[in-house]
Amino acid sequence: MASYSTAQVAEILGIGTDTLHRWLKQKRVVAPELLLVGGVKVRLWSEEQLSAAKKYKANHYWGKGARRKRKKRAK
């Protein structure tokens, strides 16, 4: 059974780590428990948790909303 880091999950989903951390903080995606590995706290994601994050992204994520081009105004 494969396990992924938070950075790897963000890369697989095609989003930034900041976006994924924001989803975790807002409880939009269920976060895996923190594990202590070599004195560092990490989250190890399972395949099931990764698929749940993929499903959330497919239903709710539109991309970089603020950077969309605006239509020009008529004079």
Contact present, 13 and 24 (Cβ < 8 Å): no
pLDDT band at 66, cuts 50/70/90?
Answer: low
Q: Which two tokens stand for residue 50?
A: 């990764």
What pLDDT, on the 0 to 100 scale, is given for residue 12? 95
- Section 1-14 average pLDDT: 92
The per-residue pLDDT of the chain, averaged, comes to 88
> Please, what sign has the CA dihedral across residues 63, 65, 67, 71?
positive
Please tell me the distance from the alpha carbon of residue 35 to that of residue 64, in angstroms, as a whole number: 32
pLDDT, greater one: 45 or 66? 45
For range 23-47, the mean pLDDT = 94
What is the pTM (predicted TM-score) of this model? 0.77
Rounded average pLDDT over 9-17? 94
